[in-house]
Amino acid sequence: MKSKPVVFLDSGVGGLPYLLEAKRKLPSRDFIYLADNKNFPYGGRDILSLKKIVHEIIGKALNAFDPEAVVIACNTASVVTLSSLRQKYGIPFVGVVPAVKPAAENTKNGIIGLLATETTVKNIYTDTLIRDFASDCSVRKFAGVKIVDFVENQLYQSNSMRTTKILQPAVTFFKKEKIDTLILGCTHFLFVKDTLKKMLGSQVSIIDSVEGVTTQLKKVISSCPEKPLETHRSRYTFYITGNRFDRSKYDVFLQKFELVWGGTL
């Protein structure tokens, strides 16, 4: 019997670090990564239009791939659509939301930074997380709009000076606010985590949700039998949604994350 794949959805390449860790935790699973480049970026969109976009692409993905579970590998899409997706479809959905609780547990001075998209920064879901898990902390938010676009379209064609320049406004803001813990509230930001760490200094801890998300994914599909490693070669396939794109841009990511090009969904 053929096992069902796990689908990862993001507006672009941001969720790939999450996929990498999922592959490590679930080595005999098939994974499909879907970059919705047609609608990139998700950040900044109004809630109703983003819900419509995500529900439409998830509907197509379920029909095309019949997945065992879906990871919404995007903070913005997760905070806006995760609840409605779980209500509509009868399969597990794992979301990526700002790691507010771990950050609150980590901070020493009670001042936490949240680097996210404009939609995530303003969304009531984010405020609820802060109220529930970091009510005794001060959370300083910064919308890193330009960083998302940079990672998606320019990262591997740029040098360290360009990366530093893109990150500098956020770093300057968080240094001024005297944070000691920074939440990466957008999956794209994991690609520049090391540079952020160097710029902010060792006194600032950087928190992401990779471990929590992939642990939860393993938990929700643990009851489904995995294929024996010795008889199955797992497949990791990358799809996009738009017809106009620069294939060479994606080739860099395909090689780095050992993915096979699947084409356009």
What pLDDT, on the 0 to 100 scale, is given for residue 243? 87
User: Counting Cβ atoms within 10 Å, is residue 54 exposed (0-12), middle (13-18) or buried (19+)?
Assistant: buried
105 and 167 assigned to the same domain:
yes
Residue tagged active-site, from 20, 186, 213, 254: 186
**For the whole model, what pTM was predicted?**
0.92
114 and 180 assigned to the same domain:
yes
Taking residue 86's Cβ as centre, other Cβ atoms within 10 Å add up to 14
pLDDT digits (tens, 9 = 90+) for 30-78: 999 999 999 999 998 999 999 999 999 999 999 999 999 999 999 999 9
- Assess whether 74 carries a catalytic annotation: yes
79 and 114 assigned to the same domain:
no
Q: How confident is the model at residue 231 (pLDDT cuts 50, 70, 90)?
A: very low
Taking residue 98's Cβ as centre, other Cβ atoms within 10 Å add up to 32
Region 85-100: mean pLDDT is 95
User: Counting Cβ atoms within 10 Å, is residue 18 exposed (0-12), middle (13-18) or buried (19+)?
Assistant: buried
- pLDDT exceeds 50 at position 229: no
User: Counting Cβ atoms within 10 Å, is residue 140 exposed (0-12), middle (13-18) or buried (19+)?
Assistant: middle
- pLDDT exceeds 60 at position 16: yes
Residue tagged active-site, from 6, 74, 114, 190: 74
Q: Which amino acid is at 216?
A: Q
Report the chain's terminal Cα–Cα distance, integer Å. 25
Q: Which of 208, 232, 247 is the last residue of a domain?
A: 208
User: Counting Cβ atoms within 10 Å, is residue 196 exposed (0-12), middle (13-18) or buried (19+)?
Assistant: buried
Region 200-215: mean pLDDT is 96
What pLDDT, on the 0 to 100 scale, is given for residue 2? 61
d(CA 103, CA 67): 32
Whether the CB-CB separation of 199 and 164 falls below 8 Å is answered with yes
Question: What CATH number did the domain enclosing 13 receive?
Answer: 3.40.50.1860
Query: Which range of residues forms the domain containing residue 119?
Result: 100-208
Query: How many structural domains compose the chain?
Result: 2
CA distances from 32 to 20, 132, 260 (A): 12, 34, 9
Residue 46 lies in a domain: yes
What torsion, rounded to 10 degrees, do the Cα atoms 160, 197, 17, 265 define? Answer: -60
- Assess whether 137 carries a catalytic annotation: no
180 and 163 assigned to the same domain:
yes
Nearest to 48 by CA among 12, 84, 75, 4: 84
Residue 1 lies in a domain: no
